[in-house]
Chains A and B, each alone.
Chain A
């Protein structure tokens, strides 16, 4: 079973709208990462949020972390077509192992 799991398989929005991808995890963590994978590419990290942080921002991206409910969210404001991708959350059950969720496919249409 997955140690981290995004809650939705797919989302679809129009350009300019905001969207939120949610993730739940099963183990205690020191940090949670969000990655984005565009078609034909490997994943790339967007945000790393540590367990003592509740929120982290990176441009139009905002990640939150709630350790009491073992959940995280990634919000994207003012979406663009180039935000179309699969979004993964990832956790580390030990210092070196990194485990990914199944991903949420986001489609942004004009």
Chain B
């Protein structure tokens, strides 16, 4: 049973449109993350959260917003989607053990912006 679930799995959006990617976790982890994966760049951190109501900027936050309304849910919002945001997006929850996080990932969302 998947503990981190992303929806939708695939999305086609138009340039300038608003896109919301959703993530739900049943791990009861405090930390959640959004990454994008592109060939040649690996996984790049967009936003992360320490818990409900908190969001923090990652390494590439421009053009993205995040929302953490509850422990279980973490959304990534593209207010004005651009073709450069075409990518595969991964959500993860973090099991913080002492001073380290083990991340548990969802299956990814493939986004195409036309």
Interface residues of A (CB under 8 A from B): 2, 30-31, 33, 35, 40-45, 48, 50, 88, 90, 92, 95-103
Contact = CB atoms under 8 A, between A and B. Distances in A.
Interface stretch (B13-21, B70-78, B105-113): B105-113
A110 to B, nearest CB: 26
Majority SS at the chain A contact face: loop
B96 A95 contact: yes
25 contacts: A30-B99, A31-B100, A33-B100, A42-B90, A42-B92, A42-B105, A44-B104, A45-B102, A50-B100, A90-B103, A92-B101, A95-B96, A95-B99, A95-B101, A96-B48, A96-B101, A97-B45, A98-B33, A98-B45, A98-B101, A98-B103, A99-B45, A100-B45, A102-B41, A102-B42
Nearest to A103: B42
A53 B105 CA distance: 26
Nearest to A5: B42
Given A30-B100, A96-B48, A100-B35, 5 more contacts: A42-B105, A48-B100, A88-B42, A99-B45, A100-B44
Interface residues of B, number: 29
A101 B41 CA distance: 8
A31 B56 CA distance: 22
Contact of B100 (A41, A42, A92): A92
Interface string B31-49: 1010100001111110010
A69 B21 CA distance: 40
A90 B90 CA distance: 15
